[in-house]
Amino acid sequence: MRQLLLLVLLVPTLAVIPVSAQNGTILYANGLPCSDSCVDAWSISQGSAVSDTFFVNGNARVTGFEIYTWEFPGDKILTIQWAITSREFGGTIYGSGTVLARSDVVLFFNDYGFNVDRVTVSGLNVEVPGGISWITLQNGIDEQQFGVYWDQNSGVGCHSPGCPSSASDNQVGMIPSESFDIHGVYLDGGDKPASAPIPTSAVYGSVPAGLAALKRILL
């Protein structure tokens, strides 16, 4: 694993993160971006893939998901390849494909020189059994071709049974988990959603000044 070292901006950042538009019921919530020791991001572009677990209380239909990404200022994600499976990077494939990002909203500018964005994917129709499944993201394509990075939050602030998520990088192995939500509906009037309500906003302060390491897997 190689690290891309970036000079931290000296101007503190303070941002209020609004609640995202609903994309069905939140079945699983692994938490929002954080500003403490968990601040980092993992490449989901250029051959790098990241897989995270999520838990649902019963048989469910996944209709979409939201992830939080680091992107260069002015950049936007265009498409992302996804898969929902029974194991990390494999096992039973419940669904997979390449989709357009329906929404890419800049939330704040972090001290590492990146925008932190909320990316929403909707329109999925993937049935998963109750218990643990894995969502894998890779081959993110962005307008400026600088790469897309999935925000690492180590599950801080997660609201669901089964959190924090376990996570794995296809070149490194086990890593801390990322910030994301899984949306959908329970089938046959099944169990209630696994998540508690997410606060209407969350406030994040600046990270320590100095040099920051953005973990980036390069081919």
Q: How many of the other CB atoms lie within 10 Å of CB of 75?
A: 21
Type of residue at 7: L
Closest CA to 167 of 60, 76, 25, 48: 48
Residues 6+ away with beta carbon under 8 Å from 20: 66, 105, 118, 120, 181
The DSSP string of 176-207 is --B-EEEEEEEGGG-SPPS-PPPPSEEEE-PP
Rounded CA-CA distance 163/166 in Å is 8
- pLDDT per residue, tens digit, the chain (219 aa), is 322 322 222 223 333 334 444 456 999 999 999 877 788 999 999 899 999 999 999 999 999 999 999 999 999 999 999 999 999 999 999 999 998 877 889 999 888 889 999 999 999 999 999 999 999 999 999 999 899 999 999 999 998 999 999 999 999 999 999 999 999 999 976 555 544 444 333 333 333 322 233 443 333
Pinpoint the alpha helices (H) of 24-177.
none
For the chain, the domains span 2-216
Residue with tokens 């000296």: 10
Type of residue at 54: F
